[in-house]
Structure 1
């Protein structure tokens, strides 16, 4: 009816909405912690963080807000033993660029998004390398950063597939309301 207020959502609907909003950052945190395990690959932790921040920033930016990205970046710095702030700043820059290009990227196919993400990984690795160089007052070897960029770009299709399916499930749940 016109002029009649809509009833407030039930407790279950509010909990469901909260769960949908918290799932992307919690999934990112859990995969970061799992990647920090004894894998013998120190570049795995940042290589797991960037695809998730990028994907959710493009396809569900409400779930990947700047404070959330800050928290994920801080967890990244702590788990990878990087200078505090390098992962935070790098992920915030990537998030900002992904949100700015969101309208363009969301309409593109997988291959175009993957190519753009590949450019993001190179830029993020270069920014991270530069920040570490400035903070440590020495030039670190570039090979670990290149390995991180290649690993991140290589992992993106797996994350895009899994997160894309999860995003579709979340959209269907929202449409059912």
Structure 2
């Protein structure tokens, strides 16, 4: 029995092209594993936000806005947030990054990190505002600020891992 090599080739290409979305879904699943820090509520970095930023910047063809929306809805369901809250934030980040792709092209990591800092701060501020409106009282920003700082600190790791993934798995430099 012979196997059509073009079928296997097409399957391999399809699986490689799905990896940014699948990695972002995995990142969303990792978010529900809390890091226990004394005197603070469970806080984890916003792994999916980092992934949405990265893939929207470097491979928007593999991270379409519909996938970002669905990942946001999944993330909301996983963390118990109002459905649509993070979906809206992730779509806003996707749009902001896509609108500035030309600016970020070939910029050093420091500029990209600064861009992520600004975009993620705006996204978290929007999430805080919408969450406060949803709960009908002003939410304490303490955990959100810590989560923001933790996310900024972890961004370099995610950035390097995803650049390596692009080179090895997606065959892109």
Contact 1:42 1:80 in 2 (8 A): no
- What's the secondary structure of 1:10's corresponding residue? helix
Residues 43 and 62 from structure 1, CA distance in 2 versus in 1: closer, same or farther, beyond 3 angstroms? farther
Write out aligned runs for 1:1-177 (5 A).
10-40=6-36, 42-44=42-44, 47-172=46-171
Give aligned pairs, total: 165
Match of 1:4 in 2: none
Unaligned runs of 5+ in 2: none
Task: Write the distance in 2 (CA, Å) between the matches of 1:105 and 1:51.
Answer: 15
In the TM superposition, residue 171 of structure 1 has moved relative to its aligned partner by 4.4
Q: Which is worse superposed, 99-108 or 155-164?
A: 99-108
Question: Quick check: 2:33–2:44 contact (8 Å CA) kept in 1?
Answer: no
**Counterparts of 2:13 and 2:42 in 1: how far apart (Å)?**
35
Q: Is the 8 A contact 1:87 1:128 kept in 2?
A: yes
RMSD (CA atoms): 1.9
**1:83 alignment partner, SS class:** coil
| Distance across 1 between alignment mates of 2:125 and 2:81 | 14
1:39-85, Cα deviation, whole Å (9 max, x unpaired)? 3364426x111110000000000111111101110111112111111
Give the alignment's TM-score, normalised by structure 1. 0.86
Deviates more, 1:52-61 or 1:70-79: 70-79
What TM-score comes out, normalization by structure 2 length? Answer: 0.88
